[in-house]
Amino acid sequence: MLVIGSGAAGLTLALQLASHARVAVMAKSSLNEGSTNYAQGGIAAVLDAADSFDSHVQDTLDAGGGLCDPAVVRFVAQNAPEAIRRLADYGVEFTRDTDHGGADYHLTREGGHSHRRIVHAADATGRAVETTLERQVRAADIALFEHHIAVDLIRASTGYRRCIGAYALDRRDGRVKTFRARVVVLASGGFSKVYLYTSNPDGSTGDGVAMAWRAGCRVANMEFCQFHPTCLYHPQAKSFLITEAVRGEGGRLLLPNGQRFMDKFDPRGELAPRDIVARAIDHEMKRLGIDCVYLDISHKPAEFIRAHFPTVYSECLKFGHDMTTGPIPVVPAAHYSCGGVMTNMKGQTDLHGLYAIGEVSFTGLHGANRMASNSLLECLVFGAAAAADILATLPAISQPAAPPPWDESWVTDSDEEVVVSHNWDELRRSMWDYVGIVRSTKRLERAKRRIALLSSEISEYYRSFRVTNDLIELRNLTVTAGLIVASALERRESRGLHYTIDFPEPDAVAAPQNTILTPEGFAGARVR
């Protein structure tokens, strides 16, 4: 079986299958270069006697704006403690509560949570998880294909709708290889790189969503793109994320004059869900014509700050900001994709033999807005759930016939690479300007027209020249951008992460609905 992606979701699944089947893991870059490695905050799990599954479920439902699937939310919450135990068994060294002897995990609190339930490894939880899983995978009997980017999924030419493998470009020699597999798992992450400013690594280009869409799978809730409220504002920082836990431990958002402002927007202040905080910051920046706002936790002891946020502290120092002595400048940036490829609770998609897990998928967990620290949790829980289903069904899955090899006999090397770079830049700027934190029908229609033109240009380019990494990612980003805009135009209300000035309130008449797009005719349909 083939796993496309090497973050928490893909590696969790691969490890659970390695002793039962031949497993290959494909990574666009090195094995650890994905969004998981950059996750700072932690993993939500009920581990305190004062907390409860019901509370975790209710907090998630409240953050999700009426669109979470309650059964999925409960499934994830109830499986969270087991996911933490599994990681600890692998060797992840979570931060302990030294005030109580260090026997229990130190739990912090983040926006939207009513209890302290965030398990973390200082402020670099993702790195701890990713490096531990990577170490386990490299020691297991798993074939690793690093520096390979999937081009497209391969469907069976006869019989029922089935995925039988993928074509992938070896980035080291520029050759496209054919991978045949009884089962293919998309664990390729999200699509926040579609925006000009993002906290995500360069590989978050919507590859899995675009490939699944081209293969005939439905996608859902693509309009809900989460903007993290607090990324470091500095021209060389490349949107370094300032973890939500800084606000969870008492960090205050300030205007340039030192005035707090979040209480004007929500009684929870800085601990309101991310969509509310991001919109509040965006509003104040536009109202005052300022480039950023400020996050201040310097009222806490310096020793406390350095102990709890060593990564953030050291990174800010590199750019001239000492968070122990004063506020640091922050801005929102695209951070997480709540929509994706539709799956059931086993990770199965519309295509036989194709699973999707992690940020690439739409499970019903996040609804209209993901609650902090539920993302790594989703990866871990659904990675395990998909692995269990694959193990149960694998004996009945036949080896597919060899797919046709990649044919590039009619294409040539490009002498117009500038087209790719220009289109890449134009697409991301258009998405930032017209499909960002605050939207309007006019802006969305403008983006739709521009994306359609870019898509036509890129399709012609794709047909004429040999594929490159940049071309593959641009092609996928353009597909993803079109899906985001189509979904946003479908939703004639404001809900969660989707805010439009033309419909500024939630629909008070109709029940909350998911936005589901189907590839046939590219028609959108809003269904419950």
Determine which one of 274, 370, 428, 443 is catalytic. Answer: 274
Helix (H, G, I), strand (E, B) or coil at 477: helix
Q: Which residues, at least 6 apart from 254, have a Cβ–Cβ distance to it below 8 Å? A: 260, 261, 293, 294, 295, 296, 327
Report d(CA 8, CA 378) in Å as an integer.
9
Vertex 267: Cα angle to 505 and 243 (nearest 5): 95
DSSP codes, 162-212: BEEEEEEEETTTTEEEEEE-S-EEE-----GGGSSSBSS-TT-S-HHHHHH
Total residues belonging to the chain: 528
What is the sign of the dihedral through the CA atoms of 240, 244, 247 and 253?
positive
Look at residue 501 and give its three-state secondary structure: coil
In the numeric block, the tokens 């907090």 are attached to 59
Say if residue 455 is exposed, middle or buried (CB neighbours under 10 Å; 0-12, 13-18, 19+).
middle
The answer to whether the CB of 383 falls within 8 A of the CB of 358 is: yes
Active site (annotated) includes residue 171: no
One-character DSSP codes across 340-395: EEE--TT-B-SSBTEEE-GGGEE-SSSTTSPPTT-HHHHHHHHHHHHHHHHHHHGG
What is the crossing angle of helices 417-434 and 469-490, to 10°? 20
Name the token pair of 262.
């979040």
d(CA 379, CA 354): 16
What distance in Å separates the CA atoms of residue 253 and residue 278, rounded to the nearest whole number? 11
- Contact (Cβ atoms closer than 8 angstroms) between residue 25 and residue 142: yes
Tokens 């998981």 locate to 36
In contact, 205 and 337? CB cutoff 8 Å? no
- Spatial separation of the C-alpha atoms in residues 255 and 282, rounded to whole Å: 12
What residues are labeled active site?
A: 274
